[in-house]
Amino acid sequence: MQFSLIIPAAGSGTRLGKDVPKPYLVIAGKSILAHTLNRFLKIDSLNQIIVVTSDDYLKETSNILKAEVGRLPFHVVKGGNERQESVQNALNVVSGESDLIAVHDAVRPFVSKTTIENCLNRASLRRNDGAIVAVPSRDTIKKIDLDSMISHTPKRDEMWLAQTPQIFKKKVLMEAYRFAALNGVAGTDDASLVERIGGVVEIVEGDIQNFKITYPLDLQLAEMILSKK
């Protein structure tokens, strides 16, 4: 099955406290976005690449794609205020030839080839609408109310932390985003929108190295990992 890859890279990076948005920070000679792209360029069934970014970074993103991507078609699309809006904009240019759509955060440059392949294989099965990579929660998760009081403690062994890639049958993801837009549904990941239309989504166990570069400590860790290579 062929797949289109959507990389949302339009975040502002305020939690990192830098002027340059996270995907464009350079580590070991390449932008984080380029490191992330390279993880997927090793996968044979990749058909098309769509990177979503802010107005100010459209040109730079095209340059990164030209330098990194060989024969594959790619698009650079303008993002929105929320990640969901950014992915929505990318869906408009997905190729008719793709069977699956993979969404992967620009700021997860350490996803392994095995993880991508496991998720693709699982998402290709007829028994589901898609598959996402996740890891079991190491910490106990607390649900809190508005006064920061704990209202519920779910069992830890049932709690998983969602990562990306999140890969879906094309038709289902399109339908989920259409439904969300029409009904004002907001989700912080793609699977939650598919779940909302009753879709069946499987978990594929990933690893903690596929972390999302979010805080300054994450950036230091990323620099350590990449400089060792």
Please return the burial class of 42, using the count of CB atoms within 10 Å of its CB with bins 0-12, 13-18 and 19+: exposed
Interaction pattern, residues 54-83, with ligand C5P; x per rule: CB under 6 A: -------------------------xxxxx
47 binds ligand C5P (CB under 6 A): no
Task: At 172, list the tokens.
Answer: 């289902």
The nearest distance, CB 26 to ligand C5P, in angstroms, is 16
Residue from 4, 5, 6, 9 that binds ligand C5P (CB under 6 A)?
9
190 binds ligand C5P (CB under 6 A): no
Task: Name the nearest CA neighbour of 213 among 114, 106, 56.
Answer: 106
11 binds ligand C5P (CB under 6 A): yes
How far are the Cα atoms of 11, 16, 116, 217, 225 from residue 220, in angstroms, in the given order?
Answer: 19, 11, 24, 5, 9
The nearest distance, CB 196 to ligand C5P, in angstroms, is 18
The nearest distance, CB 108 to ligand C5P, in angstroms, is 8
Report how far residue 204's alpha carbon sits from residue 186's, in angstroms, rounded to the nearest whole number. Answer: 24
**Crossing angle between the packed helical segments 58-68 and 32-41, to the nearest 10 degrees:** 40
Residues in 104-123 at the binding interface with ligand C5P, rule: CB under 6 A: 105-107
Identity of the residue, 2 or 54, whose beta carbon is nearer to ligand C5P in the bound complex: 54
How many CB atoms within 10 Å of residue 77? 22
Residues of the shown chain interacting with ligand C5P in the complex, contacts defined by CB under 6 A = 8-11, 23, 52, 79-83, 86, 105-107, 212, 214
